[in-house]
């Protein structure tokens, strides 16, 4: 007796019953599921779709939710926030050179894509600046970059730098070539249109999101739909935060941002300016508007506090006085330790997170390397495996960032105090010095408070120097823990007992 079976439902967007009281779920099958609609996720999804892959982009709270409320424009340029000297020490000179070359190639490819999309770019330029205490380190950075990746940096002296920026605060600068400012919102809107035209399907991740990424086929479950994919790429801080710390850990650092109006400002340079080191400030001019962002030692809870911190940082560079801070805001930005977190976790699951905000060169690098790993079986993504752990998290990470921040700030302040010695007022030789006035109770109290404050400052400096060394030791130990476990040679059975002589009795 023959039986006729019902026609099989299509492989994509099939609705099948699930064992849940919530009703049937919509099943979406695909080759690759990209979680996160930031620049890296959109470029990755569009490139894979144009290569013939069936791609679903799981947008976090809508496709355009990745546009940050950030006053500074994004910049596409080669290089990494981590210094080249430290990068060479972490991965070796040859791997550091290959990473710099890959970064330059990704930046050039990204600029070509932006031009094809018709996105307006400019003003041109990205300038890394250093104060007097770090000028020598910046010059060594330039020399090493010229050896590993020639013609990608230009060193700027103090006089030329003052003419470009209109300030005497910085003693040296390092220009990165090529570098272009890009409006993030315009770029993401154009990338969404391009990805949709290439065949990428957008799915809004509303409500709770649970994932199972262990097997050959990966499952991403939402309230009324399930995505099944063979490859998953998690891109951007929103995706990391949504998946939770059990799947992807998101190290963060506190920042404040806002803008000032400086009528009559005469700074001819309109590119992005960043201070050398992992804790500093970044700013650029738009006419007489100064958009500025700075990292803080601890999270700032209020807009008033953010405005106060911004005004203190801006006053070190330009005469802002008590001007109004527009759009002052405190936020936490990804802080994976100066390098992008770009690695393969479980088999077929890729993670990409760029440090800070607006590092388009690193976003294009992440998309390019993941596409190569999926479509071309390119294993060069392993070059970034030593940075897969990111920065320290929890209280250890907070103490390390706090100590590193104040270590650099105090080093700059002490250098300024030593460079400008205090001059005693001149006295007339014929006029005798006045006799000291008798100390009153209030004068003694003020003197004791001043001496206590001075002692507290010296004690704080000593403690911060000690904490900085302790924190850097923890960071080095955490970074090398995985490599030590992988390189540990197997111990021969009873190897240590045969070399050691047994104790003898007399």
Contact partners, residue 225, CB within 8 Å, separation at least 6: 25, 26, 27, 28, 203
Return the closest-CA partner of residue 353 out of 329, 376, 387: 387
pLDDT of residue 480: 56
Question: Between β-strands 349-353 and 326-334, what pairing exists: parallel, antiparallel or unpaired?
Answer: unpaired
Looking at residue 279, its pLDDT comes to: 61
Locate 454 and state its tokens.
């001075």
Residues of the chain with CATH 3.30.9.10: 121-182+251-333
Domain with CATH 3.50.50.60 in the chain: 14-69+185-249+338-387
Output the pTM of the full model.
Answer: 0.75
pLDDT value for 182: 93
List of residues 6+ apart from 389 with CB closer than 8 A: 478, 479, 482
The Cα–Cα gap between 45 and 1 comes to: 49
Of the candidates 324, 185, 336, 122, the one whose C-alpha atom is nearest the C-alpha of residue 250 is 336
Q: Are 362 and 77 in contact (CB under 8 A)?
A: no
- Cβ atoms 192, 95 nearer than 8 A: no
Closest CA to 411 of 244, 251, 277: 277
Q: Which fold has domain 121-182+251-333?
A: D-Amino Acid Oxidase; Chain A, domain 2 (3.30.9)
Q: Yes or no: say if 135 and 161 are a contact pair by the CB < 8 Å rule.
A: no
Q: Most distant CA pair in the chain: distance in Å?
A: 130
> What is the chain's pLDDT, residue by residue, as a tens digit (506 residues)?
444 434 333 334 444 444 444 557 899 999 999 999 899 999 999 999 999 999 999 988 644 444 456 789 999 999 999 999 999 999 999 999 999 999 999 999 999 999 999 999 988 899 999 998 889 999 999 999 999 999 899 999 999 999 999 999 999 999 998 999 999 889 999 999 999 999 999 998 877 789 999 999 999 999 889 999 999 999 988 888 888 655 556 677 889 999 999 888 878 899 999 998 756 789 999 988 999 999 888 889 899 999 999 998 899 899 887 777 888 999 888 877 789 989 998 899 999 988 877 889 999 999 999 999 999 999 999 999 888 875 555 555 556 555 666 566 666 666 555 554 333 333 333 434 443 343 443 343 334 334 433 443 444 444 444 444 544 554 555 555 554 444 444 444 444 434 444 444 44
Three-class DSSP category at 30: strand
Give the CATH H-level superfamily of domain 14-69+185-249+338-387. FAD/NAD(P)-binding domain (3.50.50.60)
Distances in Å between the Cα of 372 and the Cα atoms of 43, 84, 85, 350 are 13, 25, 27, 12
In this predicted structure, what is the pLDDT of residue 242?
82
């Amino acid at each position: 007796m023959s039986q006729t079976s019902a026609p099989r439902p299509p492989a994509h967007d099939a609705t099948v019953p699930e064992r849940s009281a919530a009703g049937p779920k919509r099943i979406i099958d695909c080759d690759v599921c990209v979680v996160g609609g930031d620049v890296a996720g959109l470029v990755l999804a569009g490139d894979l779709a144009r290569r013939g892959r069936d791609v679903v982009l799981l947008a976090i709270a809508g496709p355009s939710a990745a546009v940050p409320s950030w006053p500074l424009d994004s910049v596409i340029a080669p290089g990494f926030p981590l210094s080249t000297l430290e990068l060479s020490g972490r991965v070796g000179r040859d791997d550091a050179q290959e990473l710099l070359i890959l970064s330059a190639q990704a930046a050039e490819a990204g600029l070509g894509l932006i031009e094809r999309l018709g996105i307006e770019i400019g003003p041109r330029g990205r300038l890394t600046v250093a104060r007097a205490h770090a000028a020598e380190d910046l010059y060594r950075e330039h020399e090493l970059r010229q050896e590993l990746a020639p013609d990608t940096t230009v060193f700027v002296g103090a006089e030329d730098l003052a003419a470009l920026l209109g300030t005497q605060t910085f003693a040296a600068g390092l220009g990165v070539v090529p570098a272009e400012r890009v409006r993030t919102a315009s770029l993401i809107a154009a990338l969404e249109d391009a990805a949709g035209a290439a065949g990428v399907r957008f799915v809004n991740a509303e409500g709770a999101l649970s994932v199972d990424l262990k097997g050959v086929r990966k499952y991403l479950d939402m309230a009324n739909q399930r995505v099944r994919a063979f490859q998953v790429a998690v891109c951007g801080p929103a995706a990391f935060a949504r998946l939770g710390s059990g799947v992807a850990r998101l190290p963060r650092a506190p920042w404040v941002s806002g803008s000032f109006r400086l009528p009559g400002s005469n700074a001819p340079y309109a590119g992005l300016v960043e201070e050398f080191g992992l804790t500093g400030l970044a700013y650029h001019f738009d006419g007489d508007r100064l958009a500025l962002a700075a990292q803080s030692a601890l999270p700032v809870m209020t807009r008033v506090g953010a405005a106060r911190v911004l005004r203190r940082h801006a006053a070190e560079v330009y005469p802002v006085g008590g001007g109004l801070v527009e759009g002052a805001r405190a936020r936490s930005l990804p802080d994976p330790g100066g390098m992008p977190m770009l690695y393969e976790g479980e088999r077929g699951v890729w993670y990409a997170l760029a440090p800070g905000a607006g590092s388009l060169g690193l976003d294009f690098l992440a998309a390019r390397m993941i596409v190569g790993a999926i479509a071309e079986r390119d294993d060069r993504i392993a070059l970034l495996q030593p940075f897969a752990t990111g920065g320290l998290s929890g209280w250890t990470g907070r103490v390390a960032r706090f100590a590193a921040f104040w270590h650099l700030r105090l080093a700059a302040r002490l250098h300024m105090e030593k460079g400008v010695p205090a001059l005693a007022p001149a006295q007339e030789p014929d006029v005798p010095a006045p006799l000291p006035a008798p100390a009153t109770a209030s004068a003694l109290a003020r003197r004791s408070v001043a001496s206590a404050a001075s002692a507290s400052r010296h004690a704080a400096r000593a403690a911060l120097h000690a904490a900085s060394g302790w924190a850097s030791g923890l960071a080095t130990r955490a970074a090398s823990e995985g490599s030590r476990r992988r390189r540990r040679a197997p111990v021969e059975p009873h190897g240590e007992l045969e070399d050691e002589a047994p104790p003898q009795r007399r």
